[in-house]
Amino acid sequence: MKIGAHYLGNGECEFTVWSPTLNSVAVQILQPEQQVQLKPIADGYWQVKVADVYPGTLYRYRLNDQEAFADPASQFQPQGVHGASQVVDHQFQWTDTGWAGVPLESIIFYELHVGTFTPEGTFNAIIPRLPELRELGINAIEIMPIAQFPGDTHIESALAYRNWGYDGVYPFAVQNSYGSPSDLKRFVNACHENGIAVVLDVVYNHFGPEGNYMGQFAPYFTQTYKTPWGNAMNFDDGYSQGVRNYFIQNALYWLGEFHIDGLRLDAIQAIYDLGAKHFLWELAEAVHDFSQGGTWKRHLIAESDLNNPQVIRPPELGGYGIDAQWSDDFHHALHALLTGDRQGYYQDFGKCADLAKAYQDTFVYDWRYAPHRKRFHGMSCSDRPLSQFSVCIQNHDQIGNQMKGERLSERISFAGLKLAAGAVLLSPYLPLLFMGEEYGETAPFMYFVSHSDPDLIEAVRAGRKQEFTAFHYAEDPPDPESAETFLQCKLNWELRHQGQHKVLWDWYRQLIDLRKTHPALQNSDRNSIQAISDEDQQVVIVRRWCESREVIFAMNFNSSPVTVILPIQQSARKLLDSGSQASEYLSVGEEVVLQPTSLVLYEGEV
Amino acid sequence: MKIGAHYLGNGECEFTVWSPTLNSVAVQILQPEQQVQLKPIADGYWQVKVADVYPGTLYRYRLNDQEAFADPASQFQPQGVHGASQVVDHQFQWTDTGWAGVPLESIIFYELHVGTFTPEGTFNAIIPRLPELRELGINAIEIMPIAQFPGDTHIESALAYRNWGYDGVYPFAVQNSYGSPSDLKRFVNACHENGIAVVLDVVYNHFGPEGNYMGQFAPYFTQTYKTPWGNAMNFDDGYSQGVRNYFIQNALYWLGEFHIDGLRLDAIQAIYDLGAKHFLWELAEAVHDFSQGGTWKRHLIAESDLNNPQVIRPPELGGYGIDAQWSDDFHHALHALLTGDRQGYYQDFGKCADLAKAYQDTFVYDWRYAPHRKRFHGMSCSDRPLSQFSVCIQNHDQIGNQMKGERLSERISFAGLKLAAGAVLLSPYLPLLFMGEEYGETAPFMYFVSHSDPDLIEAVRAGRKQEFTAFHYAEDPPDPESAETFLQCKLNWELRHQGQHKVLWDWYRQLIDLRKTHPALQNSDRNSIQAISDEDQQVVIVRRWCESREVIFAMNFNSSPVTVILPIQQSARKLLDSGSQASEYLSVGEEVVLQPTSLVLYEGEV
């Protein structure tokens, strides 16, 4: 049962909608005007085939002979969240036939917000930049959510729509200001032609506050749990099977019709499901079945605040079978050392030992007491390979959740940026870069949003203000509802060729190149890494090895030079040096001077 | 850190309380009057040792120099939920030194409500009845919750307190109307001397609505989840460690100070914990550690509505490590066949195939669509031994949740009662009998409760009425707040020697005896049972075997006689016959006539 408007060709379209508690559902075709009743089929689904309906046709569903609403499974909302839905034809000339995907353990993510990555803010505008991203060495673009979100309908331009994407209300509809469904396909096709996978960020834990008419159709929401962002989705109560099916179809829709390579599942800790078979388990089953039936493997990566390995364990070990998950502990441990931040969740970090633990055990909090959370947190994931975790030093949240959306380049020295890049890209985890990070972009990435409902606009402003008042900031945060805030976040792409920015870009490329080619850096066995730390010296040393080779990298977070002896097995050769001061060759027991805020990497035989 | 008032001997008492967000805590000793400040020690705990405090001393805690409240970890509330707490001396002359416990797989539960089991409604009054229970063959008494609950303080007698026990508000305090802490010990000691284990029903998912002052002390409750009975406990949010510790100490308190053999954990589906290490996991760890340090094994049995084997899997398979769990599917499948009930949750049952599946797969709903729940439900538990599940045909809930609290003896024929007993006691699961079931007690077990708050009394009455109005009952339910309702539920213990009651008692004893002695009935391997059914004939046939022997029992739920051929391997001998009509010996392929509503059991070699 394919939900939504399914164009069959020859002017015929099949409409299917899930409304288990309604008495009647009719489809209203806007032009030429006609209304056709859907018939109940099974399990609360309604369906009808209608003739003389061509791609581009606008429609709504009339419920119980009363009000009409856009399709919850709408594939396009050309007039925004309050407008009608549009019938989409999915025919497309794919030219990625040789595409074999990117194996999970090789992925290097590049997170990108379509609206601010280019001046145009469209899928099409990204395409010319792909060769350079390929040259940098990344092999997966992770696009922030593109499900239709609300906009300020008082503005008659693409600027009306300003949203990170987490307020989407039509999970099947490509955001109209970013392009059409075909534009997204063209973009994915071009990525594949450039050897780049596309991972889509999808939000299955809540819906945005404006333009959300789901509740009119079916019991999509539950009252049993609360999310921080709105009503929780109904994954485990009566009628939950329709909700589960809705999101599973959504996942398969992106993978199938758009050749998307993987999904990043937003904040799965807010996907509340206390039934015996968690929704994520069922989702992973469906995606893996789909993947096995196809020509390349698709991936599911969960953003999780739980530090729970159950998310990524296979079902036979009681897990959900998700392929990989984010590990924010790595970010927090590294960020705290680089910036000295100790407020908010950084309170739980700040020691070199934390970063060393993040390298070796992944979770710093593995049922340890976390002062900021005021509770014990996490579990050991020592049975999971290192390649099941993704880490970063910047992403939309870590930048944007600061009051002024300052990137790391505004917070720390150039030497610090190089150190940070090395720490992430030499880690055994799947690294994620945030657009512009590779050349030290100076534009902020602030929290921006636009609504048409004046009360909601005021509530968002007040909420944001309140958030930072709690932290005793003297200033007010930038106005999230202003277009100016959004425009300030657009990348200055030309910077990448200039001065220090270019030096940083080259450093990123060098790191990625080494990561891709050195065998010791490709080993993701849990027992192929060792990390030690020294709080007095503010040093973390990491050793990674494979059968025949090893690399050892030392990171100095001190603002003074420090002297260390690296635990090499045999004499070693320097491959990387962010401070360019250490000797090229090193004998066993020989001292190395680490410059302030620097990283040096040696390699040798085991 | 032992919470509560810990009597150290020689008139010295240590007071410890968890109040992580308060500025001051003082203990108010009522007689001779004194007030002593507690000192903050660590993790939000406060403590002080006070001299001249003897067992029996009444005390309260004064919080932030304002109001004073009873101790959340009070061990006795002689004046009820609104009164002061009392210091208890745990010295006791135990005489159960040889006690070795009852192995989980051998347990036969007898569920008992202290208030209605005897005219006196006390622990002491149960003791004279133990020899007869032992003669019946049960080896574990499961007592319904005994944590101090509210009462109608307008009545000056034991009759003031009328409650099933699920509204308790002092989980460490022995219900004052049932006896003292020493009385409970005397009862447990007597049970052990009679070869009977004691399992205590504990409620860790919510607190009752009256006399609940916990929230004054600490963040015991969360707003993230809702239970059907009140605020959910805070098991996974900030400060949850104190809440978890509170309940873990509670479990160990009963096992340690009272020699309790096991805990029945009430409705664990409402113990909401989405952290990486579920509270039940931590609880099971603590109880098993305690158990291993002791001289006999203690058990944790969960009442769970989840049909989720994760509850009872070991931690290495991602489970919580609970020893056993209830399986209501067995009850519902059997009850629906016996009574013809199809309303409410019985809607999901009613086929002989359901009962056959309950014997063979345990969960009838193992990710099958459940019409009453309007969702898919449960997961297969085929990797768990049969002895990890407990079943019954009557318990406090299944009887008491009917409008008039009718026992099965009021609903079905005498032949049906015998059939039901056989179905339960010949099952491979841990059987549970509800007090009086064994002789066909005629008193109902209705929902009764007593409060002192008039608004609450009215709310409870209205709620109960509302519950049954929804089912279109013509009559009103009995008044749950009336003493008469409670008194009607007292057992007529003398019935057990009379007429048909005695016949039924003998049948139960015969069944229990066979269960305990026949090797095929002691095998709890998942692959030692096979069940088949015939909807036309309304017959379920179960075969159980061990290495050398097998038993086959056939159950006829039809009101007419039916003829069946039992799948015996060799000629077999009849061991049980509730209808006394089938031939004593049976050859392979020989027909057997099953009388209406009857059970027959043959045994033979494999």
Assess contact for A544 and A520: CB atoms under 8 A: yes
Q: Do A225 and B223 touch (CB under 8 A)?
A: no
Concerning whether A14 is annotated as a catalytic residue, the answer is no
pLDDT digits 0-9 by tens, B385-405: 999 999 999 999 999 988 899
DSSP calls for B304-317: -SS--GGGTS-GGG
Give the pLDDT mean for B108-129: 98
pLDDT band of B472, cuts 50, 70, 90: low
Say whether both B414 and B297 belong to one domain: yes
What is the domain-level CATH number for residue B9?
2.60.40.10
Q: Do A276 and B369 touch (CB under 8 A)?
A: no
Nearest to B421 by CA among B322, B505, B332, B533: B505
Say whether both A486 and A589 belong to one domain: no
From the list B224, B238, B309, which residue is nearest A225 (CB)? B224
Give the pLDDT mean for A553-567: 95
pLDDT score at B495? 97
Helix (H, G, I), strand (E, B) or coil at A111: strand
Has residue B411 got a pLDDT over 90? yes
Distance from C-alpha of A419 to C-alpha of B77, rounded to nearest angstrom? 63
Say whether both B399 and B377 belong to one domain: yes
Tokens of B259: 């020699």
What is the domain-level CATH number for residue A554?
2.60.40.1180
Q: Which residues pair with B545 in a beta bridge?
A: B550
Say whether both B443 and B368 belong to one domain: yes
Q: What is the CA radius of gyration of chain A?
A: 25
Concerning whether A266 is annotated as a catalytic residue, the answer is yes
Say whether both A44 and A167 belong to one domain: no
Nearest to A420 by CA among A401, A394, A443, A442: A394
Q: Is B275 on the interface with A (CB under 8 A)?
A: yes
pLDDT score at B457? 87
H helix or E strand, kind and range, residue A244: helix A240-257
How long is chain A? 606
Chains A, B: CB contacts within 8 A come to 81
Burial class (CB in 10 A: 0-12, 13-18, 19+), A216: middle
Say whether both B120 and B65 belong to one domain: no
Range of the domain at A585: 528-605
Has residue A402 got a pLDDT over 80? yes
Please list every residue in chain A whose beta carbon sits closer than 8 Å to the beta carbon of residue B367.
276-277
- Backbone φ and ψ of B578, nearest 5°: -75, -20
Say whether both A500 and A581 belong to one domain: no
Name the amino acid, one letter, at B360. Q
pLDDT score at B452? 87
SS3 content of chain A, % helix, strand, coil (to 5): 30, 25, 45
Q: Is A226 on the interface with B (CB under 8 A)?
A: yes
Has residue B223 got a pLDDT over 80? yes
Please list every residue in chain B whose beta carbon sits closer than 8 Å to the beta carbon of residue A374.
238-239
Asked, for residue A520, whether it belongs to a domain, the answer is no
Distance from C-alpha of B300 to C-alpha of B595, rounded to nearest angstrom? 40
Residue of B nearest to A374 (CA): B238
Say whether both B475 and B555 belong to one domain: no
pTM exceeds 0.90 for this model = yes
Has residue A465 got a pLDDT over 90? no
Please list every residue in chain A whose beta carbon sits closer than 8 Å to the beta carbon of residue B274.
269, 272, 306
pLDDT digits 0-9 by tens, B106-117: 999 999 999 999
DSSP state of A160: G
Of chain B, the percentage scoring pLDDT greater than 90 comes to 89
Give the pLDDT mean for B45-64: 97
Please list every residue in chain B whose beta carbon sits closer than 8 Å to the beta carbon of residue A310.
276, 318
Q: Do B225 and A223 touch (CB under 8 A)?
A: no
HSE-CB of A505 using CA atoms within 13 angstroms: 19
Q: Which residues pair with A68 in a beta bridge?
A: A62
Has residue A471 got a pLDDT over 80? no
Has residue A354 got a pLDDT over 80? yes
Asked, for residue A100, whether it belongs to a domain, the answer is no
Tokens of B126: 């149960």
Whether residue B181 is preceded by a cis peptide bond, meaning omega within 30 degrees of 0, is: no
- Backbone φ and ψ of A593, nearest 5°: -95, 125
pLDDT digits 0-9 by tens, B5-42: 999 999 999 999 999 999 999 999 998 899 999 999 99
Has residue B530 got a pLDDT over 80? yes
Say whether both B326 and B453 belong to one domain: no
Q: Which residues touch A217 (CB under 8 Å, ≥6 apart)?
A: A17, A18, A19, A22, A61, A63, A69, A72
Q: Is B296 on the interface with A (CB under 8 A)?
A: no
Asked, for residue A94, whether it belongs to a domain, the answer is no
Has residue A153 got a pLDDT over 80? no
Q: Is B375 on the interface with A (CB under 8 A)?
A: yes
Say whether both B273 and B173 belong to one domain: yes
Whether residue B32 is preceded by a cis peptide bond, meaning omega within 30 degrees of 0, is: yes
Distance from C-alpha of A44 to C-alpha of A398, rounded to nearest angstrom? 42
Q: Are strands B221-227 and A585-586 parallel, antiparallel or unpaired?
A: unpaired
Nearest to B233 by CA among B50, B16, B110, B72: B72
Mean pLDDT of chain B: 95
Tokens of B449: 């409760």
Residue B281: C-alpha distances to residues A269, A491, A503, B224, B287 (Å): 19, 48, 51, 21, 10
What is the set of active-site residues of B? 266, 303
Q: Is A276 on the interface with B (CB under 8 A)?
A: yes
Of B30, B52, B86, the residue that ends a domain is B86
Q: Which residues touch A348 (CB under 8 Å, ≥6 apart)?
A: A332, A364, A365, A370, A371, A372, A373
Q: How far is CA B311 from the centre of its chain?
A: 17
Q: Is A373 on the interface with B (CB under 8 A)?
A: yes
Tokens 């609903």, residue located = B411
Residue of B nearest to A238 (CA): B374
Asked, for residue A123, whether it belongs to a domain, the answer is yes
Please list every residue in chain B whose beta carbon sits closer than 8 Å to the beta carbon of residue A375.
236-241, 275
Say whether both A201 and A59 belong to one domain: no
Long-range contacts of B291-297 (CB under 8 A, 24+ apart): B291/B255, B295/B99, B295/B100, B296/B99, B296/B100, B296/B101, B296/B261, B297/B101, B297/B103, B297/B104
Please list every residue in chain A whose beta carbon sits closer than 8 Å to the beta carbon of residue B277.
367, 376, 379
Asked, for residue B93, whether it belongs to a domain, the answer is no
Distance from C-alpha of A72 to C-alpha of A60, rounded to nearest angstrom? 10
pLDDT digits 0-9 by tens, A361-374: 999 999 999 999 99
Long-range contacts of A501-506 (CB under 8 A, 24+ apart): A501/A439, A501/A440, A502/A439, A503/A414, A504/A414, A504/A417, A504/A418, A504/A421, A504/A438, A504/A439, A504/A440, A505/A136, A505/A438, A505/A439
Asked, for residue A407, whether it belongs to a domain, the answer is yes
DSSP calls for B16-51: EEE-TT-S-EEEEEETTEEEEE-EE-STTEEEEEES
pLDDT score at B471? 66
Tokens of B138: 């049960």
Say whether both B225 and B149 belong to one domain: yes
From the list A237, A276, A377, which residue is nearest B307 (CB)? A276
pLDDT digits 0-9 by tens, A518-536: 999 999 999 999 999 999 9
Tokens of A260: 């998307």
Q: How far is CA A27 from the centre of its chain?
A: 35
Of chain B, the percentage scoring pLDDT greater than 70 comes to 99
Name the domain count of chain B.
4
Name the amino acid, one letter, at B61. Y
How many CB atoms are closer than 10 A to CB A356?
22
Has residue B218 got a pLDDT over 80? yes
Assess contact for B144 and B396: CB atoms under 8 A: yes
ipTM: 0.90
Asked, for residue A391, whether it belongs to a domain, the answer is yes
DSSP calls for A359-407: HHTS-S-SSEEETTTTEEE----TTS-GGGEEEES--HHHHHTSTT---
Tokens of B82: 């609104």
pLDDT score at B71? 98
Nearest to A26 by CA among A58, A68, A79: A68
pLDDT band of B158, cuts 50, 70, 90: confident
Asked, for residue B520, whether it belongs to a domain, the answer is no
DSSP calls for A219-238: --EEEEEEETTEEEE-SSST
Which of A356-370, A457-471, B53-67 has the least mean pLDDT? Answer: A457-471
pLDDT score at A470? 67
From the list B277, B307, B318, which residue is nearest A367 (CB)? B277
What is the domain-level CATH number for residue A380?
3.20.20.80
Higher model confidence: residue A580 or residue B265?
B265
pLDDT band of A299, cuts 50, 70, 90: very high
